[in-house]
Every structure is written in C-alpha cells, then in structure tokens.
Amino acid sequence: MKLELVKVLATTALAMLLLSIFVFNAQSGIQVPPQASFSFWPAKPYLNMTVEFDASSSTPEGFNDTITAYKWDFGDGTKITETDPIITHAYQQVKSFIITLNVTDNEGLWSTTSKPISIYPEFGPTANFTWTPTEPIINETVTFDASGSTLGWCARTQRFSPIQSYTWNFNDGTGNIVTTVATINHNFTLSGNYAVVLTIVDIDSRSDDVSTIVRVLNVTQKTYDVNGDGKIDLKDVYRVGKAYGSYPGHPKWDPACDFNKDNVVDLKDYYPVCKHYGEDP
C-alpha cells in the first residue's frame, strides 16, 4: 500500500514539475519554432497533372502561436507563399523534383521540411478484351467485352482520355466493325482459330490494338447444352434447376431452360437435361 502511495506521489510531482516548466517558459517568453509537415496527392502524378499539396499537418509549437505563412518551393523554379495550407501545382517536366515547405508563425519563427516527387510521362490507352463462351461452337453467339481496356493520360488536355471508338476485326471475312460501346456480339459460321483484333481510339486521338486467338469448335449445339459450352454437364443441370418453377415475368425466368416452349420451366424440362447428362454435343 505504501509503495502504491509513493508511486502516485511521484507521478503527481513529475506532472507538477512539467506544468511549472511549461508555465515558466510561456511567461518568460521562450520562443519555440513551428514544425513543418505536408503531404501530396496523387502519389504518382503525371505530366501537367494537378497535384494537391496539403500542409495542414504542420503545427505551431509555441504558447498561443499560429502559423501565418506557408512558403512553397516546388523545385522547378516555382515559389509561392500562401496563408492557406492547401495549394495545387502542375509540373511541366518529366523528372524528379525536391519540394520544400517553410512555415512561419506569428512570432516570425520558422522551420522547413522537404520531400521528393517524381513526375511520369503521359501515355495512351491500352486495349484489352475478353469473350464468352471461351470456346464457342459454330454459329453460337459470342460476346466480346473490351471494358477492361484502360484509359491513358493526356498532358495537353489534362485528363484520362475516354475511349471514343472500338474497331473489331474477327478475321472471318466480316471486315472491320466499328462501335462506340465496349461490347459486341458475333457468330462464327466455320470452325477454326481466329485472330481477333481490337483497336481502340481515345478522344485525344491516341490508339492501341491487341490480337488474341479465339478457338471455334466444330460441333453442333444440342438442345440441352444450355450454356453452349460443348457439353451437357452440371452447369446445365444447375441452370435448369435454378429456373425451375419460373415463367415469363418471373424473376428467375430463363427461356433457354424452357425446352418444350410451354412458358414454364418444370419437370418436363428438368428431366430431359438430367437424362442427357454427360453427353458431348
């Protein structure tokens, strides 16, 4: 008990000592400089991209002090003094710079801090696409999706440039097909390996292309191959089971599962797909 009392008294004494030192310093006019600190966003800026610099984390350290000026040196010859801690700047060169911030308080005291920043070059779009089903059969509708293409940064217009056109060539004799949307449906009438080419062009006239081989199987789709993947398996049984009991307008209605076309998915549809399970169309 006595030991605990001694600890409490020691802690209290230390707190009183620190408080007296603080009060003494404040009353005796000891000056403490502010602490400079800042961050910037984005962390990976590109040429002529607006970068936001935020010095809100800087702190006045003296008693009852305030920060009155934020002096920025962006390392590219630009020097700006502001009373607001937030400022923006765009770099016009692809290289690394040293940013220096000087903060000054109402007593005229100051401190500085520095950070490096790297500016990256502009770049164009990157074409990319997927397709389903991945191994289509003859005359099956294939959906090609280029929404995975990425935008490029244009320094002149200061933006990630939207894609304005998608040009498809399926190399099956249908020629170039130009669209303004990322998805397109196509049917191959013959089996074989097709080098499908996608070319995208953005609104700032930069382009990119990509080519991928699409294999079209030489098989005919059977009635109960619901998903058209070339075989009747659990995926087809599951799909019919999921739509079981549905009808036009029902949230689970799937017309591909209504094999007898009586506008209801029931045992007359579920039994046949189970009966033909395992067959390879």
Residue 256 buriedness (CB in 10 A; 0-12 / 13-18 / 19+): middle
CATH of 31-118 given 2.60.450.10, 2.60.40.10, 3.10.180.10, 3.30.43.10: 2.60.40.10
More confident residue, 117 or 22: 117
Token pair for residue 38?
């800042």
Question: pLDDT-derived band of residue 14, with 50, 70 and 90 as boundaries?
Answer: low
Nearest to 141 by CA among 254, 49, 227, 242: 227
> Can you give the three-state secondary structure of 86-110, one letter per residue?
EEEEECCCCCEEEEEEEEEECCCCE
Give residue-wise pLDDT tens across range 109-124: 999 999 999 999 999 9
pTM above 0.85, yes or no: no
pLDDT > 70: what percent of the chain? Answer: 87
CATH superfamily of 130-216: Immunoglobulins (2.60.40.10)
Token pair for residue 245?
């009991």
Give residue-wise pLDDT tens across range 77-108: 999 999 999 999 999 999 999 999 999 999 99
More confident residue, 73 or 218: 73
DSSP 121: P
Question: pLDDT-derived band of residue 21, with 50, 70 and 90 as boundaries?
Answer: very low
What is the residue type of 246? S
